[in-house]
């Protein structure tokens, strides 16, 4: 088997109407929602997969979920579209028939409004994942960098890593009350970068923290970054251009951008 055989896997597109089973607050600004229902055949092969979550409109009991047509989603005529946003499948438990999604509560919008008031019995639509970018766990060490929106993917990956691997996490949060405790068999070093949410667009706090890192000199390292889109782009430029990482071993994604709705931008150079 080729070492570090990174590859993409496609999944059959499917949309489901799910029911909230449990809601808990991991931190003041992070809500965990456990969903159940029509989850047979659900597949998520990578920690940074994303599903499209459809939220009910005000006054609705359930969202309107588009059908999958030959050229993409097809929305019913004459029916107002339910808003959809991308989220990480934090954990899927086939034995319990449960899907967990963590919601970072930040700017007002349909996702934050719904998640802040979520209760058992409510309905959500979930579509995907359409595919997975699979990174094998055969690197010697890993660097994960991100803001609040990246924590679900980081937490999932830390839980999946093998014993003996080393992981460095640099995460921007609003304050100590937003720190999360992650379970992992790997040797994990976590650096929390505290800055107010009002400065979440500012790339300096994360960039400065990454520049100060004493990264391992031996072994192969894989770097993953997700944050505001421009911040993610600058992080990749630093890791590739200044740190000399192989481009194939650095993945950076913009999970949000001020003023934009439901974006997911991958930065390749």
Maximum CA extent, the chain:
60
**Tell me: the pLDDT tens digits for 80-114?**
889 999 999 999 999 999 999 999 998 778 999 99
- The DSSP secondary-structure symbol of 75 reads P
Whether 74 has a pLDDT exceeding 90, the answer reads: no
Instruction: Give the mean pLDDT of the chain.
Output: 93
Q: Which residues contact 250 (CB under 8 A, 6 or more apart)?
A: 222, 223, 224, 225, 236, 239, 240
Integer Cα distance of 173 and 29 in angstroms? 10
Is 133's pLDDT higher than 70?
Answer: yes
Residue with structure tokens 């059959």? 12
Residue 263 pLDDT level (bands cut at 50, 70, 90): low
* Integer angstrom CA distances of residue 204 from 63, 86, 159, 211: 39, 25, 28, 10
Report pLDDT for 8. Answer: 95
Q: What is the mean pLDDT of residues 252-267?
A: 82
Query: What confidence score (pLDDT) does residue 3 get?
Result: 83
pLDDT score, position 106: 83
Q: What does residue 42 show for φ and ψ, rounded to 5 degrees?
A: -65, 135
Identify the residue whose tokens are 């040797």: 187
pLDDT of 1 strictly over 60 = no
User: What pLDDT is recorded for position 136?
Assistant: 96
pLDDT at position 260 over 80 = no
Q: Where do we find the tokens 């934090």?
A: 90
pLDDT in the model for residue 71: 74
Among residues 134, 138, 133, the alpha carbon closest in space to that of 1 is found at: 138
Specify the range with the lowest mean pLDDT, choosing from 50-59, 64-73, 136-145. Answer: 64-73
Higher per-residue confidence, 163 vs 3: 163
- Assign 258 a pLDDT band (cuts: 50, 70, 90): confident
Mean pLDDT of 181-194: 97
Band (pLDDT 50/70/90 cuts) for residue 78 is confident
In this prediction, residues 150-175 reach a mean pLDDT of 98
3-state secondary structure of 16: strand
For residues 211-235, give the mean pLDDT: 96
Residue 269 pLDDT greater than 70, yes or no: no
Do strands 30-37 and 166-173 pair parallel, antiparallel, or not at all (unpaired)? unpaired
């Amino acid at each position: 088997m080729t070492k570090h055989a990174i590859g993409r896997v496609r999944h059959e597109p499917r949309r489901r109407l799910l029911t909230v089973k449990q809601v808990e607050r991991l931190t003041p600004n992070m809500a965990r929602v456990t969903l159940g229902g029509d989850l047979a055949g659900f597949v998520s092969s990578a920690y940074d997969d994303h599903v499209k979550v459809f939220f009910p409109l005000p006054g609705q009991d359930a969202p309107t979920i588009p059908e999958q047509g030959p050229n993409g989603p097809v929305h019913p005529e004459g029916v107002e579209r339910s808003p959809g946003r991308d989220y990480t499948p934090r954990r899927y438990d086939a034995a319990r028939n449960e899907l967990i999604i963590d919601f970072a509560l930040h700017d007002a919008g349909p996702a934050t409004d719904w998640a802040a008031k979520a209760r058992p019995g409510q309905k959500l639509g979930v579509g995907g994942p359409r595919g997975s970018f699979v990174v094998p766990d055969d690197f010697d060490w890993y660097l994960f960098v991100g803001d609040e929106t990246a924590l679900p993917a980081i937490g999932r990956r830390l839980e999946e890593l093998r014993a003996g691997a080393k992981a460095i996490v640099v995460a921007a949060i609003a304050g100590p009350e937003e720190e999360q405790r992650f379970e992992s068999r790997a040797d994990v070093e976590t650096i929390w970068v505290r800055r107010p949410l009002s400065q979440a667009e500012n790339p300096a706090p994360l960039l400065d923290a990454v520049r100060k890192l004493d990264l391992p000199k031996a072994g192969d390292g894989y770097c993953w970054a997700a944050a505001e889109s421009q911040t993610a782009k600058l992080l990749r430029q630093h890791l590739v251009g200044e740190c000399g990482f192989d481009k194939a071993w650095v993945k950076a994604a913009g999970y949000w951008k001020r003023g934009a709705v439901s974006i997911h931008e991958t930065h390749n150079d």
